[in-house]
A and B are shown apart, each in its own frame.
Chain A
Amino acid sequence: AQSVTQLDSHVSVSEGTPVLLRCNYSSSYSPSLFWYVQHPNKGLQLLLKYTSAATLVKGINGFEAEFKKSETSFHLTKPSAHMSDAAEYFCVVSEAGTYKYIFGTGTRLKVLA
């Protein structure tokens, strides 16, 4: 069965410092993995996705994530945080051959001036 764990419910960083949002997954078969961002009172927007191509995936707004099969992780990073990055971030796993997307419980990112 698929599952996804976001290891931190809240992360605070100072503007201009690196961002690390952690995600571990469990999947029986080749998973597809996604990161979505949700700004307050808005829908979810795709940041990036991994679908068995390159293990380092680059997304929008300077975010990237690395798929590490041995560690079953898909952590999201950004070299330098911006105030506009303050939002909630969701890691999502989907298993090959299914129509189901399993969401993590979310990490709320706070960016301090």
Chain B
Amino acid sequence: NAGVTQTPKFQVLKTGQSMTLQCAQDMNHEYMSWYRQDPGMGLRLIHYSVGAGITDQGEVPNGYNVSRSTTEDFPLRLLSAAPSQTSVYFCASSYGETGNTIYFGEGSWLTVV
């Protein structure tokens, strides 16, 4: 039972480069989301999806794109990396109804130099 799988775990990018963080879940969850974690700021929602073909912005969406072509996958794209995007990124999923447990991936440590 893999749960939520994120790749890569570590990545160093140069300013202006693009990359995609991959996220996959095998629990048939409707809801998937991406958070970034910065010291002293908790987790902040970047984008979320409530089903295949449906995405919406969270609290800090600028500089990030997402798509949801299947129930299982929810990749996060950085189009032109900036040092301010240095962070730890977590993918999460849950069943659609409020109150359900959110399951997290192990995290992706991204450094932009």
Contacts and interface: CB of A to CB of B under 8 A. Distances in A.
A79 to B, nearest CB: 24
Nearest to A44: B104
B106 A99 contact: no
Contacts of A51: 99
Contacts of B98: 32, 94-99
Interface residues of B, number: 23
Interface string A25-60: 000000010101000011111100101100000000
Interface string A90-113: 101011111111011110000000
A44 B99 contact: no
A80 interface: no
A34 B43 CA distance: 14
Interface residues of A, number: 27
Given A32-B98, A105-B40, A43 B45 contact: no
B34 interface: no
- Most chain A CB neighbours (cut-off 10 Å) among B35, B41, B58, B98: B98
Given A100-B45, A100-B48, 9 more contacts: A9-B40, A49-B99, A51-B99, A94-B99, A98-B98, A99-B31, A100-B58, A101-B102, A105-B41
Interface of B: 4, 31, 33, 35, 40-45, 48, 50, 58, 90, 96, 98-99, 101-102, 104-107
22 contacts: A9-B40, A32-B99, A34-B102, A41-B107, A43-B4, A43-B105, A52-B99, A92-B102, A94-B99, A96-B99, A97-B98, A99-B31, A99-B48, A99-B98, A101-B33, A103-B35, A103-B42, A103-B43, A103-B44, A105-B40, A105-B41, A106-B42
